[in-house]
């Protein structure tokens, strides 16, 4: 059925990526003919839209009407969205390709809008605040997901890959000044692993955005 087809599509996209995905590959995984898949979906794009909406169903959405502090709810939504983009790196290009009007995508969107309304921002600034937070998360999660994928493809841990990259850059005389500046910044940031450093960056950046919203609310 359609749910089974969507489930296998997500699994294949996670394992092999967009470049290797095809209706023929999906049919082989399902042990059916490629034409039989079209009984359930009209086109490959329709199937990709279903897969995109399905993974949005993985997000745990807070009850925006519960009275819980909007800051905690915004952090929860931002953290969940980031994890989704890292877990499914094929999602980010599809978000910009399709309208994202499936039930799970719409539920996420409506929840985010309500949480932003709960901040107390004036209406004319609410969409700007929403964009500031979630476009940041989209970019952060997309880059993180691709980095994790690249490390896995190279057969290296994230720390091994990072050390190799830094070593390569450090060997280039024309980049020496940039490398020293970057090294100083990374040392000041702290963190013993790439994942710890990235987590500190995300946490600080999100806190900065939340502080910005608080400041705008205080201005009235």
The secondary structure of residue 151, as a DSSP letter, is H
Residue 139 in domain: yes
pLDDT digits (tens, 9 = 90+) for 174-187: 887 787 787 788 88
Same domain, yes or no: 49 and 79:
no
6: exposed, middle or buried (Cβ count in 10 Å: 0-12, 13-18, 19+): buried
Same domain, yes or no: 49 and 86:
no
Q: What is the pTM of this model?
A: 0.93
Q: Using CA atoms, how far apart are residues 141 and 27, in angstroms rounded to an integer?
A: 31
Q: Using CA atoms, how far apart are residues 95 and 69, in angstroms rounded to an integer?
A: 28
Same domain, yes or no: 43 and 89:
no
Same domain, yes or no: 18 and 92:
no
Same domain, yes or no: 69 and 132:
yes
Same domain, yes or no: 81 and 136:
yes
pLDDT digits (tens, 9 = 90+) for 37-53: 999 999 999 999 999 99
Q: Using CA atoms, how far apart are residues 218 and 206, in angstroms rounded to an integer?
A: 18
Same domain, yes or no: 49 and 14:
yes
Q: Over the range 68-105, which residues count as b (16 or more CB within 10 Å of their CB) and which as e?
A: eebbebbbbbbebbbbbbbebbbbbebeeeeebebebb
Indicate the range of 75-84, 146-155, 175-184 predicted with least confidence.
Answer: 175-184
Same domain, yes or no: 37 and 85:
no
Please tell me which residue, 176 or 153, carries the higher pLDDT value: 153
């Amino acid at each position: 059925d359609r749910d089974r087809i969507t489930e296998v599509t997500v699994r294949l996209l996670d394992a092999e990526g967009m470049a290797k995905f095809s209706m023929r590959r999906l049919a082989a995984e399902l042990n059916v003919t490629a034409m039989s898949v079209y009984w359930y979906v009209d086109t490959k794009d329709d199937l990709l839209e279903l897969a995109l909406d399905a993974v949005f169903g993985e997000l745990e959405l807070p009850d925006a009407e519960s009275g819980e502090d909007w800051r905690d709810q915004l952090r929860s939504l931002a953290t969940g969205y980031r994890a989704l983009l890292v877990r499914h790196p094929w999602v980010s290009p599809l978000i910009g390709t399709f309208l994202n009007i499936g039930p799970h995508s719409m539920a996420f969107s409506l929840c985010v809008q309500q949480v932003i309304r709960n901040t107390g921002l004036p209406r004319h600034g609410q969409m700007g605040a929403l964009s500031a937070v979630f476009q940041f998360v989209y970019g952060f999660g997309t880059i993180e997901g691709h980095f994790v994928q690249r490390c896995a493809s190279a057969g290296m841990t994230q720390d091994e890959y990072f050390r190799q990259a830094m070593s390569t850059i450090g060997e280039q005389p024309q980049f020496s000044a940039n490398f020293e500046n970057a090294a100083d910044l990374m040392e000041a940031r702290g963190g013993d692993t790439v994942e710890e450093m990235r987590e500190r960056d995300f946490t600080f950046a999100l806190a900065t955005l939340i502080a910005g919203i608080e400041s705008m609310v205080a201005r009235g």
